[in-house]
Amino acid sequence: MTFSAPAPLTSLPEWQDFCQACHTAQPDESSTRILTAAGLHADFSGQRYSSAWSEASIRLLEARGFSAQRDALLHGGVCNPTEQRAAWHTALRSPSAPKSAITVERERMNAFVRDADAARRWRHIVHIGIGGSDWGVRLSVSAFGYNKLWRTVRFVANIDGHAMEGALADLNPHDTLFVVASKSFTTVETLENAARGREWLAAAGIKDPSQHFAAITARPDAAQRWGVPEGQIFRLWDWVGGRFSLWSAVSLTTALAVSSDVVAGMLTGAAAMDTHFSEAPLAQNVPVQMAMVGIMNRSVLGFGSLNIAPYDFRLGNLVPYLQQLDMESLGKSVDLNGDPITVPTGPAVWGMPGTDAQHTFFQWLHQSSEGAPVDFIVCQHADHKWPSHHDTLLAHCLAQREAMLRGKSYEQALAECQREGLSEERARWLAHHRVHQGGRPNTLIVLPRLTPYSLGALLALYEHKIFTQGLVWGINPFDQWGVEYGKVLAAGILQEIQHPTGVIAEHDASTNYWVNRFARPLRSAD
């Protein structure tokens, strides 16, 4: 394969112009900058901006060949050069891409769900997967089934046996389906947990435990050898990365839990965001603007992390979903030439839903020496029956972002203390503790309400943001070699723990100590 790596980012004059524009741009409290895409509103008024910044951003994207690379992403070109494959997850939701195999597989999944629903079968679902085979399904089930599920749904990802033990508690083996999601069907955690499920079924006297399994994988032959019936194996493709697999039959559990209509709605919303990303001018393109703001905050202004603050209880699993999507994609320190990148890339992504977050770490966001940019996410309309609750939620969201943007000066804090009747000496002292620096970047994303369509659009928005950032930084957002290295080391250490020979392997001294300490006979003796 012929591959032409991009020039080092810092060698580009367009990068130098972009950096200069970032330093001179400022938020403008007197105006708004609100863009729309697929029914979502993105308010960038809390970010630095100027016309010079906008023009420099577009020139930098053009220097990086953005249009051609975007076309490759959306039309099945090789976007993952280190693994020599496409990253064509958008085809899974496109209404127009050639996708006969995709359509067939989706219809097979929907037929499986229809048959199960008609028979009122599988009262209990245990979804076994990890990473991209887990977080997206957790998110969609919790978002749309948080208050009503006729099926009990449990998730098992962690290899810790307590996770599997807890998931199986109080379930009826005779009416339990295990959905095993693994692209390679070699994932250690997933297969170990699936094996425990098979043993649990057999111990309950079920004659053919295999009938209680469905699998989603790019290796149907491996799933069949493991024992999953051929008719209950649903296909992934090599060009679908694990953290983008929500759009595939990995959503079988979602369909069983909250309906195939939810899955279809999410696909439609994501496809609408794909169209926006493909067609909107760069200055009005929401994923592109989010990407360039993120690059400014991380690589130029030096913020080390990005906080995700969804002001919706149902989006509790959005943070770990985006954490994996972003950090597994952009946690790279070499460019496509294999050379070190000399600017900071990939921020740490973290957070939790508001208003819980306000009572956990917002103090740090407001008054720490560093702080972090924040993506506030909120729904304009709620779906519960207590409007005063939603009014309060909206007020808190707007207030927190305004405080981060505007801050509070010493003079304002002093006047506040004086109004409280404090002595002049105490007022002057206490005012220092009430100062908010302000100018802390934030973006507000408003969904009309939480629907499958709006959630699908939101997730695709972040996907395209991350793709654009990888393009500008010159890194491959579709591989994860850091994860693979640890898997290789773990396989060897596992053998040493389970089958100790007394031979010391080539580890560091601490690892050697604990491998020998944890070795099965010694652990039993302890």
CA angle 116, 92, 248 (to 5 degrees): 40
Residue pair 265/452 in contact (Cβ under 8 Å)? The answer is yes
The catalytic residue among 14, 105, 328, 463 is 328
> For 395-406, b where at least 16 C-beta lie within 10 A, e where not — what string?
ebbeebbebbbb
**Residue 487 is a catalytic residue:** yes
Residue 465 annotated among the catalytic residues of the structure:
no
Kindly report whether the peptide bond that precedes residue 360 is cis, defined as omega within 30 degrees of 0: no
At which residue do the structure tokens 């130098």 appear? 16
CA nearest neighbour of 180 among 143, 222, 144, 147: 222
260-279 vs 135-144: helix axis angle to the nearest 10?
Answer: 110
* Distance from the first to the final alpha carbon of the chain: 55
Catalytic residue among 148, 162, 207, 359: 359
Between β-strands 34-37 and 374-379, what pairing exists: parallel, antiparallel or unpaired?
A: unpaired
Q: How many CB atoms lie within 10 A of CB 116?
A: 17
Question: CB of 1 within 8 A of CB of 84?
Answer: yes
Tokens in use for 93? 């939701």
Contact 265, 456 (CB under 8 A): yes
Question: Which amino acid is present at 186?
Answer: T
Closest CA to 299 of 340, 341, 331, 344: 344
Residue in 439, 367, 309, 374 with CA at minimum distance from that of residue 29: 439
Pairing assessment for the beta strands 233-235 and 305-311 based on DSSP bridges: unpaired
Query: At which residue do the structure tokens 């009938």 appear?
Result: 211
Task: Give the pair of three-digit tokens for residue 348.
Answer: 């740490």
CA distance 201 to 204: 5
The sign of the torsion formed by the CA atoms of 88, 94, 99, 100 equals positive
- Backbone torsions φ then ψ of 421, nearest 5 degrees: 80, 20
Verify whether residue 212 is a known catalytic residue.
no
- SS3 at position 334: strand
Contacts for 348 with CB less than 8 Å, ≥ 6 apart: 304, 305, 306, 327
* Residues acting as catalytic residues: 328, 359, 487
